[in-house]
């Protein structure tokens, strides 16, 4: 069944939930000028990765990525699926812990952190247990309700900017490529695209619509970084945690039912983040249940959720979260680079094999 529109909206929402929280701080911290250059490099990498990934998947009609790797042999399965499952599990932990921290800092300072984590995990676990079609339907509903408001908030945030802060437009080197914070920014890319390889054959989609969704994301990558810089200046923006959230605190939208735009903005992004966590849980469940079929998926989802909660409790503070993001960077880059390339080359091999059998 073709669900291109649902895939497109879900792709947008899961990335938006990552972009506005963590991406601006990472990019602003990676360079002190010409921030559009690291943004452009990241966007190019994003397009190259998803294009190669979807091209590789197209060689295997009605096959998901688990079947693709399994068909290539146990060695390939172990090399790629095991790190992928580990990475998905880790980013689920980081997402739950970091988003809970944000909620506590911004507007629920007296609420115990563990209770917020339980809420995030429970909703995500419920969606994951219902399967991909429920996740996609939820994504469409969230998109209809919240996407117009996100657009409005982004454009309203332009009211306090100073264009002089855009200069200088060029820097003399690519020193950001040596900064750990820049490689942490790829968290906004790596977690969201993998689900494209898991949804088939249950759901099909058109590649050009996913690429269109990626194009729609480009202004948000730019806005999330430049609006804090143009509002506060680079020297101030670099000192802020969650720079775009701080910008939202300065906005005044009279027609909004919430007294604080920040509260509405955060609730919207938290809804998107729960969708993202649900997808990562579902993907991790699929990999493990295929490799260890004796465990029922529903029980496995419950076990994974409990493990995520326990491990989140073991993370003491936000500094530890930042260290985990940094330590996870090598695995993130491995997944970002090797999964699309391996899928593509396995697809070429599969195509040659089929052509040889036919001839």
Q: How far is CA 7 from each of CA 2, 284, 321, rounded to the nearest angstrom?
A: 9, 19, 30
Q: What is the CATH number of domain 4-352?
A: 1.20.1740.10
**Domain limits, the chain:** 4-352
The DSSP result for 146-173, as a single string, is HHHHHHHHHHHGGGG--GGGG-----SS
What is d(CA 353, CA 315) in angstroms, rounded to the nearest whole number? 48
Determine the pLDDT at residue 325: 84
Cβ partners under 8 Å of residue 90, min gap 6: 324, 328, 331
Tracing tokens 């968290």 back to the chain, one arrives at: 187
pTM of the model as a whole: 0.91
Long-range contacts of 297-305 (CB under 8 A, 24+ apart): 297/129, 298/129, 301/125, 301/128, 301/129, 302/125, 304/89, 304/92, 305/121, 305/122, 305/124, 305/125, 305/281
Of 219, 249, 217, 214, the residue nearest 232 (C-alpha): 249
- 53-110: pLDDT as tens digits: 999 998 888 888 998 898 888 888 888 898 999 999 999 998 899 888 888 877 777 7
- 201-224: pLDDT as tens digits: 888 888 888 899 999 999 999 988
Percent of the chain past pLDDT 70, that is, above it, reads 94
State the average pLDDT for the chain. Answer: 85
Q: Is the pLDDT of residue 308 over 90?
A: yes
Determine the pLDDT at residue 310: 92
What is d(CA 98, CA 315) in angstroms, rounded to the nearest whole number? 10
**Interior CA angle at 14 toward 8 and 16, to 5°?**
100
- 325-351: pLDDT as tens digits: 888 888 888 998 999 999 999 988 887
């Amino acid at each position: 069944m073709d669900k291109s529109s649902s895939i497109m909206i879900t792709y947008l929402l899961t990335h938006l939930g990552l972009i506005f929280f963590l991406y601006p701080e990472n990019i602003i911290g990676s360079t002190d000028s010409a921030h559009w250059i690291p943004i452009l490099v990241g966007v190019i990498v994003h397009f190259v990765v998803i294009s190669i990934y979807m091209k590789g998947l197209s060689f295997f009609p009605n096959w998901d990525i688990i079947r693709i790797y399994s068909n290539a042999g146990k060695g390939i399965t172990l090399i790629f699926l095991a790190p992928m499952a580990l990475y998905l599990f880790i980013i689920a932990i980081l997402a739950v812990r970091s988003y809970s921290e944000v909620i506590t800092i911004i507007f629920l300072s007296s609420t115990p952190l563990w209770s917020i984590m339980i809420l995030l995990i429970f909703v995500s676990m419920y969606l994951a247990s219902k399967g991909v079609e429920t996740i996609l339907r939820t994504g469409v509903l969230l998109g209809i309700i919240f996407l117009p408001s996100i657009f409005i908030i982004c454009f309203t945030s332009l009211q306090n900017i100073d264009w002089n802060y855009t200069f200088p437009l060029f820097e003399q080197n690519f020193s950001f490529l040596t900064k750990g914070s820049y490689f942490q920014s790829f968290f906004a890319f790596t977690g969201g695209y993998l689900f494209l390889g898991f949804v088939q054959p249950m759901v099909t989609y058109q590649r050009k619509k996913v690429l269109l969704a990626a194009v729609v994301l480009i202004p948000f990558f730019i806005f999330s970084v430049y609006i804090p810089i143009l509002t506060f200046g680079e020297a101030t923006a670099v000192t802020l945690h969650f720079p775009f959230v701080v910008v939202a605190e300065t906005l005044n939208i009279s027609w909004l039912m919430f007294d604080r735009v920040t509260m509405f903005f955060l609730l919207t992004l938290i809804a998107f983040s729960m969708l993202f966590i649900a997808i990562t849980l579902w993907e991790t469940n699929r990999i493990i249940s295929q490799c260890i079929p004796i465990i029922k998926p529903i029980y496995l989802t419950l076990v994974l959720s409990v493990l995520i909660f326990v491990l989140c409790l073991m993370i003491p503070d936000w500094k530890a979260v930042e260290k985990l993001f940094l330590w996870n960077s090598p695995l993130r880059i491995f997944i970002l680079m090797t999964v699309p390339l391996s899928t593509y080359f396995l697809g070429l091999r599969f195509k040659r094999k089929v052509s040889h059998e036919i001839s």
